[in-house]
Structure 1
Amino acid sequence: MEAAVEKRQPRETAVERLARKSGEFATAFTRMVMLAMMLTPLLLAAILTVDIPMHAFDWMAGEAVGSRPSNWLTRGGFIMALAPFLVIIFARKYGGDEASRAVTASWGLAAIAVFAELSYLAPSLEDGDLPGVRYTVFFTASAMAAQYMAASIYDVVRGSLRWWRAPLYAALCAYFTYAIIYFPGVYAGSGAPWLNWLIGDFAVKALVALAFLPVYGLLRGSLKPKGGYGGK
């Protein structure tokens, strides 16, 4: 009987390791840029229309004029509410960590674009043309926090036998995070009924989250997760 011969894998040289790591970095960086280029236009569209009231959901309040969503919901706010859905799709395909990196990169690109535009328009701007500092800070903080929350919650819940749980819970947690940061931050002390608006905003966006589920269900088949997520 011939003695078993142990086969050893050839040891990777330093140059080969460097080449492999460089290739992995280039692939990951390219993917992050691709995802950021998908999310950034949505952020910019939201920022540019953040002061235009949206009346599409006013029917929900009936004759209660003070409770109509157009009192607080703008086109920009609604467009920004679509961003967590895109982040959820990123997280399904590439995982929550990569989706979060795409969020960070997207906001960086959006900030550069906004500052460039403001520099160009500065000579013609007048008082009142731009949102106040308080509004800008809390709108940005709440939107970013909501998107990070969507990526994190989706990663935690994914893998359930009920496919709809991860996207629905992620979206609802994202909208709740947005609401508890945005409304107190922007309206506290102003005399506005911001608590009622907070509840109304969450109700409107919960309906939007439910409407997203059929879209997510249709995309599941074509958005196979990368290795390590078991198709969930």
Structure 2
Amino acid sequence: MRPPVNIKRRAVLPVTAMAVVVVSSNYLVQFPINDWLTWGAFTYPAAFLVTDLTNRLVGPRMARGVAMVGFALAVVLSLWLADPRIAVASGSAFLCSQLLDITVFNRLRQRVWWLPPLVASTVASVLDTTVFFSLAFAGTGLPWLTWALGDLAVKLAFAVLLVAPFRAVVSLAETRRLAGVR
């Protein structure tokens, strides 16, 4: 059964955003800032924002679909732009952490507005960082443990900072919905 056109149309923006975030992060993770950070640490947290907004505004089914399509696009494009090891590690970490984010968010959906995105992003960030850095860089001689710690610190900071844009986008969407604007 094919989904209605409006569902497909609603998925274009989050799928595109997810692919852009993941591909840019996979490219930027190849460039260290120092022994604690790579440039990818500053772009990847937006993936959790995309997932959480999709989950809140359209529901967990659409969020899972966005994660799956975003995952497929990102892995294919990352194989072209990044080392294959990074693309595989990213795909593995991405899929596990995004599905965890969606599940945690959904369980907390009825709580105070800021709790689902904050807790889901935090828990998923720990899983994502652990899986990605251990698969992408273990055994390479690179300072991957310190990169993982620095990356996780940035993700946790962004989990807090992105709560405000989450609220703003959700409020705007709800206002537009009440006004009958599509």
- Measured on the aligned residues, the alpha-carbon RMSD in Å equals 2.9
**Counterpart in the other structure of 2:4:** 25
Q: State the TM-score, normalized to the length of structure 2.
A: 0.78
Alpha-carbon contact 1:81-1:205 (below 8 Å) kept: yes
Shift of 1:166: 0.5
With 34-43 and 88-97 compared, the bigger mean Cα shift is at 34-43
- Matched residue SS, 1:73: coil
Alpha-carbon contact 2:75-2:87 (below 8 Å) kept: no
Aligned amino acid, residue 43 of structure 1: V
Alignment of 1:144 with 2:95, yes or no, is: yes
Aligned amino acid, residue 180 of structure 1: T
With 191-200 and 149-158 compared, the bigger mean Cα shift is at 191-200
Aligned amino acid, residue 128 of structure 2: Y
Q: State the TM-score, normalized to the length of structure 1.
A: 0.63
With 208-217 and 27-36 compared, the bigger mean Cα shift is at 27-36
Residue 122 of structure 2 is aligned with which of 172, 190, 195? 172
| Whole-Å separation in 2 of the counterparts to 1:47 and 1:175 | 15
**Counterpart in the other structure of 1:106:** 70
| Whole-Å separation in 2 of the counterparts to 1:114 and 1:212 | 25
Task: Provide closer, same or farther for how the CA distance between residues 25 and 157 of structure 1 changes in structure 2, counting only shifts above 3 A.
Answer: same
Residue 81 of structure 1 is aligned with which of 45, 55, 71? 45
Unaligned stretches of 5+ residues in structure 2: 176-182
Task: Provide closer, same or farther for how the CA distance between residues 179 and 35 of structure 1 changes in structure 2, counting only shifts above 3 A.
Answer: closer
Aligned length: 176
Aligned amino acid, residue 87 of structure 2: T
Alignment of 1:207 with 2:165, yes or no, is: no
Shift of 1:112: 4.7
Q: Identity of paired residues, percent? A: 23
Alpha-carbon contact 2:41-2:155 (below 8 Å) kept: no
Shift of 1:145: 2.2
Residue 17 of structure 2 is aligned with which of 32, 38, 56? 38
Task: Provide closer, same or farther for how the CA distance between residues 211 and 39 of structure 1 changes in structure 2, counting only shifts above 3 A.
Answer: same
Unaligned stretches of 5+ residues in structure 1: 1-20, 55-69, 119-129, 226-232
| Whole-Å separation in 2 of the counterparts to 1:111 and 1:197 | 21
Q: Deviations over 1:144-194 (max 9, x none)?
A: 32222222211111111x221101001101101112212332344456665
